[in-house]
Structure 1
C-alpha cells in the first residue's frame, strides 16, 4: 500500500520512524456530469475572475479571505515556518481507556507501518505496551495543512491510528431529542428486550452494500442494452405513520424468531407455545356420537371373542377333514383304484382283529398260571412242626 505521509512517533524520548497508510477505501459508485442533449462531458475549469480566463494549476496558490472580502495570500513556505512540533511527528500525549473516547469524534483511519529495520524494535515495544495496558494512546499530528488529534490502538499485529475531531468540533444535540414527555411501560421494554435478544449478534463480514450492488447490476444491464428491472420503492409517507407500538413489537419478535429458527411459517400464522410450568390436562370425557362408538366397541369385544373361538373350532375340524382327504389322495396316488383299496383295507382290519384276539387270550392264560403259582408257594414253604417223644 502506498504511504501518504512519512514521519515518526514520539514516545517520550523514543522516536519510531513510520509511514502513514490509509486503512479504509471508498467503494461507492461515482458518476460524471454530462450534457443530457448530446452526452458531452461537463468539466469544471478554474477561471480567474479578473482576467476571465482559465488558470493552470502551477499558477494557483492559497489565500485567506478576510471579513471585508479581501484576500491575504499564504504560501507553503509560510506554513512550513510555523513552530509546530507535530509537523512531521505523531506526538503521544497520554494513555487513556478506550471507553473514554466518544465515538462521535472518530474520523479517518490509518495504519502505521515501521519505516525501516531500525524502527522494528521500538515499534514492537509500543505495540506490546498498548496490548498489555489495554489502553489507547492520544496523540497530536499535522496532516494536510492542519494539526489534528489522533488515537492509537492495536489491530492484530499493527498499530492503527484513528483521526479524532477536536472536542469543540462536536456539536451539542440541542433540539434533537423529542420535546414531548413520553412514558414507556415495562411491557414495552420487555418486548424490546425480547426483540434485541432474538436478533442477537451478527458477523460484520456478512454485511454488504445492497444499493451499490443494485447500481452496478443496473449499469451492466444498460451497457449490454438490456432492460432494467425496476425494484420496489417505499410508499410515500410510509416512514411517518403512527403505529401501535405493542403490536409492532410483538410482530417484530415473531418475525425475527421465524427468520432466526428457519421455521418457514406463512405470514399470519403463530406457532403454539406450551409453557414449561403448565401441567398436562386429562382428556375431556367423550360425548355424543364419540361416546356411543366407544361403548359399542367395548360391548362388541365379547361377541368378537366368541366368533373367533368358533372360528378356531371350525378350523380344527376342517384340518382333520383335510388330513383324511390327503390320506385318500395318497392311497389313490399308489395306483390302487377305489374298488381295490376297500377290500384290502377290510382284510387288513380283520387280520388286525385276529392278532389282537390271540394276544388277549395269551395274556389271560399267562395271568391264570401266575395266580396258581402264587397260591401254591406258601403251602410248600411252610415249616413242619416237630413232635416230642
Structure 2
C-alpha cells in the first residue's frame, strides 16, 4: 500500500473534506550508476569552481538566476522565502468544468485523494455529485513550497487529482515554426484511411501493453547475475524515409489488419491428451 505523501483537505463552498494524497503511479525505470571500468568503483561528482580550481563546500552555495551568459542575479534564502507561495493544507476548488474541455496536454501527474474516516460521507457526496453532473473540479494548492493547478475527477469511487501545467508551461501547436499548411486530401485515400482506423479500433485495455525494453533489460541483468555469456546481435536496420505510394500503402495496411484480426478471432485447437 503506497504511503500518504501529503495531507490536507478539499474545500468547495463551505464544505471541507479532510483527505490524504497517495501517488497513483510508480516508476519502473531501470537506473544505472556511472562505474569506473578499471576499478569497478562508482564515481562521485564534486562541486567544483573553475575560477579557484577548488572544490566548493555546500554551505558556500547560493542561488543565482542567469540573465546573460555568465551573468547572474543572486537571490538569498530570505528573499526566496518572501516570494514563496503561502503554505496551506487546502485544495481550494474554484470551478467545475466538462472533462472534454481540458486538453490532455495540460495534464502532468495523477494522485489519489483518500478521505479521512470522519469525512467519508462528505467525500462520497462530492464523488456522486461530480458523476451526476458530468463535471471535474479545477483547484489550486501548495505542496512542498510549490503552487499547483489541478483537476479533480471521480475515478470509480475515488477522487483522482491530476496536477496540471499552467498556460505559460505549454507550447501550443500554433506557436511552432514550420507548422504544416493544410493540403488537399484525395477522398478515396481518406475513405480508405478511415477504414484502416475502423479495422484497428478496439476497446482500450491497458494490460495489453508493457514496457518491452525494461523487460529485456531485467532479463539481461538477471543473466549477468547468473554468470551467463551474453551474445549481442547487430540491431536491425530501418528503412530510410522515402516517398511512398499512399494508396498502395493503405491497401496493404488494410489487408494486414484484416488478416491479423482473423487470426486473432480463430479459436485455438486443443491438444489431445495422451491416453
TM-score scaled by length of structure 1: 0.60
C-alpha displacement of 1:39 = 2.0
1:95–1:119 CA distance, 2 compared to 1 (3 A) = same
Answer with 44-53 or 24-33: which moved more: 44-53
| Bigger RCO (CA 8 Å, 6+ sep) | 2
Question: How many equivalent pairs are there?
Answer: 257
CA contact (8 A) 1:64 1:74 kept: no
Greater per-residue helix proportion: 1
User: Where in structure 2 are the equivalents of 1:251-330 lying within 5 Å?
Assistant: 251-262=252-263
Structure 1 partner of 2:271: none
- SS of the equivalent of 2:210 reads coil
Which residue is 2:95 aligned to? 94
State the distance in 2 between where 1:127 and 1:263 align. Answer: 39
Matched with 1:124 is 124
2:6 touches 2:22 (CA, 8 Å); kept in 1? yes
3-state SS of paired residue (1:3): coil
Q: Which residue of 2 aligns with 1:246?
A: 247
Larger proportion of strand: 2
Q: 1:145 to 1:51 in 2, by over 3 A?
A: farther
For 1:150, the equivalent position in structure 2 comes to: 150
Q: Give the corresponding residue for 2:141.
A: 141
Q: Which runs of 5+ in 2 are unaligned?
A: 266-275
**Alpha-carbon distance between aligned partners in 2 of 1:48 and 1:119, rounded to the nearest angstrom:** 54
Superposition TM-score, scaled by structure 2 size: 0.83
Is residue 203 from structure 1 mapped to residue 214 from structure 2 by the alignment?
Answer: no
Residue 85 of structure 2 contacts residue 142 of structure 2 at CA under 8 Å; is this kept in 1?
no
CA distance in 2, matches of 1:83, 1:259: 55
Any idea what SS the aligned residue of 2:5 has? strand
CA distance in 2, matches of 1:149, 1:90: 10
1:132 aligns to what SS in structure 2?
A: helix
Report the counterpart of residue 272 of structure 2 in structure 1: none
Structure 1 gaps, min length 5: 265-389
CA deviations 1:273-296 (Å, max 9, x no partner) are xxxxxxxxxxxxxxxxxxxxxxxx
Q: Which has the higher Rg, Structure 1 or Structure 2?
A: 1
Q: Distance in 2 between matches of 1:83 and 1:206?
A: 42
Aligned to 1:107: 108
Match of 2:76 in 1: 73
